[in-house]
Structure 1
Amino acid sequence: MTIRTETIRDGVRLLTMDRPHRRNALDPADYQALATAIEGADSDPDVRVSVLTGAGGVFTSGNDIASFQDVQTEGAGAGMVLLRALVCARKPIIAAVEGFAIGIGTTMLLHCDFAFAGRATRFRVPFVPLGLCPEGGSSYLLPQVAGLKRATELLMLGDQFDADDAAEAGLINRAVPDGDALAVALERAERLAAAPAESVEATKLLLRRPIRDAVLQTLDVESVHFGKRRQSAEAQAAFAGFMRR
């Protein structure tokens, strides 16, 4: 089991990506398991809020590159089921981020309602350096929260950036002392779990409603381009180079 789920406090479900030997990299089975966990929490009447984190001091190093080398799989692959689960969730999701948040580990934060990261966390969306293109709705959402110029810089250059930069770009609420992200996320989760549940869900619906259809449409468009890029010769060469490190 690489996705652990536990109800640790009244109304709060903790979802932990637990594959530390791979820095919690996600393969197709992990994407499906995490999507199932999110959907399960969303449909459980005893759960009011989910907290998403990673084991071993790492959020996630993104997609397992080995699975990208399978050129027979079409589209963006298994990640789409996770992204759609995040977009369609009715209840709040809070991310507690430490260590690394790479690729989809960064873009999934755009779909979380709150996100807190340890100050030493390193973020990166290395799609172009890997011969790919944006995914996770980031081509639509990141310009909205970070501005077009900053989003272009992050998505085209694929450079690493820190938690303060992530906060400034609107990917997280704020940077916190290293090791404190989960505690801060759980404190917010407890407050939400204690609030009137229908009011919380209605507020999330109203906040997300104006962009929901556009995000889902963007996921579909990105998936087509991502699938083509993933099967391209330059992307496969980049993956092979990465695996040789």
Structure 2
Amino acid sequence: MVVNILDRDCIVSSVSGGICRITIERPEKRNALTMSMFAALAESLRLADEHADVRCILVTGSGNSFCAGHDLAAFSEWPQQPHDPVPIFLHAIANVRKPVVVAVQGSATGIGVTWLLHADWVVTSAETAFRLPFIDLGIAPEAASTVLLKEAVGVVRAKKLLMSGEKFTGAEAVEWGLVAEMVAAEEVSATAARRAEFLASKDAVMLRQIKDWLHPADGFHQRIDEEVNAINAAVLRRNQRLQEKNP
């Protein structure tokens, strides 16, 4: 039986067979995230983590792209305070203690990449395009990626990716240890679903213990806040420059 736990703001969540399936459904915008979508994602993750029947969380994006990151139009809603949608979402994904599997197809950009660092099993294809464009936007990276990316790919490569903003492929992401598994493009969704079923069949207590040891939630919240504060400062500087140009 499928039980719907949330369906709003282009985010659909349902539970069946011990798996909570969360789908980002804004394909016409390559699943770029608005403020209401950040809020709905945060709530979906919280509900899934608290749901007694959920043993694994599977996240997918509809259409040809996984997630284009933060909708640029939504930057008008920065600065963000701790109770606002983006910080709430970032802390929510860091707090999830159940296994998280993500299917990444087509492309992933910005926060569509950084929050993968909190997932446990990411499936992609060789040709998937990844990008961390924060330097070109003049803002800080988020999701504690300044800690987690270094741990995943090494400090030299993390500097290169964050300081250049250049694209990289799914094949490179797998080679560097950023994601877990690479399959043919047409097999990404089905493979991720099988991995979620596999993890849902394992001992839930031990999976949580392993995750707590390898990815302790309390280790990232301070950095998440520091990064959000840096983005706030960057947005305020930009707004001030615009006001000076157009008094």
CA deviation after TM superposition for structure 1 residue 76, in Å: 11
Counterpart of 2:162? 155
Residues 45-88 of structure 1: per-residue CA shift (max 9 Å, x gap): 11100001100121100000001134564589622211111111
Unaligned 5+ runs, structure 1: 238-245
Residues 182-236 of structure 1: per-residue CA shift (max 9 Å, x gap): 2111111111111122222222222223xx3331111011111111112332898
In the alignment, the residues of structure 2 paired with residue 162 and residue 236 of structure 1 have an alpha-carbon distance, to the nearest angstrom, of 35
Checking the alignment, whether the CA contact within 8 Å between 2:116 and 2:122 is kept in structure 1 is yes
1:114 aligns with 2:114: no
Counterpart of 2:208? 201
CA 1:133–1:186 in 2, change beyond 3 Å: closer, same or farther?
same
CA 1:133–1:199 in 2, change beyond 3 Å: closer, same or farther?
same
Counterpart of 1:143? 150
CA 1:26–1:71 in 2, change beyond 3 Å: closer, same or farther?
closer
Counterpart of 1:127? 134
In the alignment, the residues of structure 2 paired with residue 171 and residue 12 of structure 1 have an alpha-carbon distance, to the nearest angstrom, of 24
In the alignment, the residues of structure 2 paired with residue 125 and residue 36 of structure 1 have an alpha-carbon distance, to the nearest angstrom, of 25
CA 1:131–1:163 in 2, change beyond 3 Å: closer, same or farther?
same
Partner amino acid, structure 1, of 2:223:
T
In the alignment, the residues of structure 2 paired with residue 43 and residue 77 of structure 1 have an alpha-carbon distance, to the nearest angstrom, of 21
1:68-217 matches, cutoff 5 A: 68-71=75-78, 73-74=80-81, 78-209=85-216, 212-217=217-222
Checking the alignment, whether the CA contact within 8 Å between 2:82 and 2:88 is kept in structure 1 is no
CA 1:46–1:154 in 2, change beyond 3 Å: closer, same or farther?
same
3-state DSSP of counterpart to 1:119: coil
Counterpart of 2:227? 222
Counterpart of 2:13? 5
CA 1:85–1:235 in 2, change beyond 3 Å: closer, same or farther?
farther
In the alignment, the residues of structure 1 paired with residue 221 and residue 82 of structure 2 have an alpha-carbon distance, to the nearest angstrom, of 15
Which of 54, 62, 69 aligns to 2:69? It is: 62
In the alignment, the residues of structure 2 paired with residue 116 and residue 137 of structure 1 have an alpha-carbon distance, to the nearest angstrom, of 21
Checking the alignment, whether the CA contact within 8 Å between 1:75 and 1:228 is kept in structure 2 is no
TM-score (normalised: structure 2): 0.88
1:11-90 matches, cutoff 5 A: 11-71=18-78, 73-74=80-81, 78-90=85-97
In the alignment, the residues of structure 2 paired with residue 128 and residue 68 of structure 1 have an alpha-carbon distance, to the nearest angstrom, of 15
CA deviation after TM superposition for structure 1 residue 179, in Å: 2.3
3-state DSSP of counterpart to 2:70: coil
Partner amino acid, structure 2, of 1:130:
L
In the alignment, the residues of structure 1 paired with residue 241 and residue 134 of structure 2 have an alpha-carbon distance, to the nearest angstrom, of 13
Counterpart of 2:238? 233
Query: Which structure would you say has the larger RCO, counting Cα contacts within 8 Å and 6 or more residues apart?
Result: 1
Checking the alignment, whether the CA contact within 8 Å between 2:80 and 2:228 is kept in structure 1 is no
Alignment: residue pair count: 234
CA 1:194–1:77 in 2, change beyond 3 Å: closer, same or farther?
same
Checking the alignment, whether the CA contact within 8 Å between 1:51 and 1:94 is kept in structure 2 is yes
Checking the alignment, whether the CA contact within 8 Å between 2:101 and 2:121 is kept in structure 1 is yes
CA 1:106–1:126 in 2, change beyond 3 Å: closer, same or farther?
same
Counterpart of 1:243? none
TM-score (normalised: structure 1): 0.89
In the alignment, the residues of structure 2 paired with residue 225 and residue 138 of structure 1 have an alpha-carbon distance, to the nearest angstrom, of 13
Partner amino acid, structure 1, of 2:180:
N
